[in-house]
Amino acid sequence: MQDARVTLKQVAVRAGVHVSTAWRALKNDTYVEPSKRALIRSLAKEMGYAPDPMLTALSNYRRKQAPVAFQSTLAWINNFTTREEGRALVNIAGYHEGAQRFATQMGFKLEEFWLAEPGMSPKRARDVLLARGIRGLVFPPQPLSGTELGFDVEPFAAVAIGHSLTSPRLHVVASHQHNASLQALRELARLGHVRIGMVAATETLRRANHGFESPYHFFQAVQEEKHRMPLFAIPGRDEPRNVAAARESFLAWFRRHRPTAIVCHVSEVRIWLETAGIVAPIDVSLATLSRAFDANWSGIDQQESEIGRRALELLVSLFQSGERGEPATPLRLLVEGRWTEGETTRRIGPPAEELLERLS
């Protein structure tokens, strides 16, 4: 005969707490104070408690069948200097739209929390969020790569979108930028292009954890030497005031290397070429790595809404399972982009089969 299964009620009685408290503690929920949480978890392990998989499945089924009820409030952490800047960027707006939609479907409310509000500090932000009962945080892309917030996330379930936040070190949901670049290079090769260049701002490359340019360097390495050309990097951020200074250097690079196609993350490139009498796609094909910024170009749709949705999906799972604080082993969930034909590319010959084989 099998031994009777240890129940949650028995664990609660042994610990001298209510069943709901025991349930929260075993989910590592920070609503239960740390010492009590540790005691309950230790007793459960000692007693051999394990959740009944059939009851868990039944509970999940019932929850899915029931009307969506309000669960909790989650915070969207805006760390830009002005609140409006953190909302205006089209890629961040796409992330937020997908996150907001999923949160609503699951019965959560997603509220923006602005870290740069006057009088706000990381410690005060933590205290305000806890006082409001908010235990789940989403950190969208930061203003600069390598951002360290000094924010104590120990009481929170937390997820970052993109790679620009380096501290706290969290689970990350992001575009698969490496595959995006590789896919763009392959699509251009299928259109007959062999002499392909790349243009990007150095801050953009850092924010992508160098996922954008690494396939390009691989591409150059497998090229015939006569077709190789260096990446044209614009120092600093991809913003009009900074980018404008690179115009003449870019045109000199273009005339020297004569690319038939360019993989690009700088919208101004098209205008610079046109003012020099070089028209896309007649004279050169242009492929963007983010159609959110250049909707008429051929290139990669990074699926920002899907990235936001998956970030919230991961956050909700962490929230419901009781995982809090910086994870010991952060996850990286990468969302594939999609190549979409626009008005800036054209076929110039048969597919470059030999090059495509090297890129496979």
Q: Which CATH number fits domain 72-169+305-335: 3.40.50.2300, 3.90.340.10, 3.40.50.300, 3.40.50.10470?
A: 3.40.50.2300
| Residues forming beta bridges with residue 333, ordered by sequence position | 173
- The span from the CA of 340 to the CA of 288, in Å, is 10
Whether the Cβ atoms of residue 298 and residue 338 lie closer than 8 Å to each other? no
pLDDT in tens, 306-328: 999 999 999 999 988 889 999 99
Report the SS3 class of residue 166.
Answer: strand
Residue 283: predicted pLDDT: 97
Instruction: Name the region of 299 (left: φ>0; alpha: ψ -120 to 50; beta: rest).
Output: left
Residue 1: predicted pLDDT: 42
Residue 232: predicted pLDDT: 97
Q: So what's the architecture of 8-65 in CATH?
A: Orthogonal Bundle (1.10)
Among 20-34, 167-181, 222-236, 251-265, name the one with the lowest average pLDDT.
20-34
User: Which whole number is the average pLDDT over 268-294?
Assistant: 96
Residue 145 dihedral angles phi and psi, to the nearest 5°: -65, 155
User: Does this chain's domain 72-169+305-335 share its CATH topology with 177-302+339-359?
Assistant: yes
pLDDT in tens, 130-146: 999 999 999 999 999 99
- The span from the CA of 298 to the CA of 270, in Å, is 12
Distance of CA 322 to CAs 32, 169, 325, Å? 11, 18, 10
Please return the burial class of 271, using the count of CB atoms within 10 Å of its CB with bins 0-12, 13-18 and 19+: exposed
Fold classification of 177-302+339-359 is Rossmann fold (3.40.50)
pLDDT in tens, 26-48: 877 766 778 888 899 889 888 88
340 membership: H or E segment, kind and range: strand 338-340
pLDDT in tens, 58-101: 555 555 555 444 478 999 999 999 999 988 899 999 999 999 99
- The span from the CA of 22 to the CA of 9, in Å, is 8
User: Which whole number is the average pLDDT over 199-208?
Assistant: 94
Higher pLDDT, 122 or 216: 216
Closest to 243 in 3D by CA, of 184, 196, 203, 212? 203
Q: Mean pLDDT, the chain, as a whole number? A: 91
Distance of CA 185 to CAs 227, 346, 354, Å? 14, 14, 13
Higher pLDDT, 19 or 201: 201
Residue 58: predicted pLDDT: 58
Domain ranges for the chain, please list them. 8-65, 72-169+305-335, 177-302+339-359
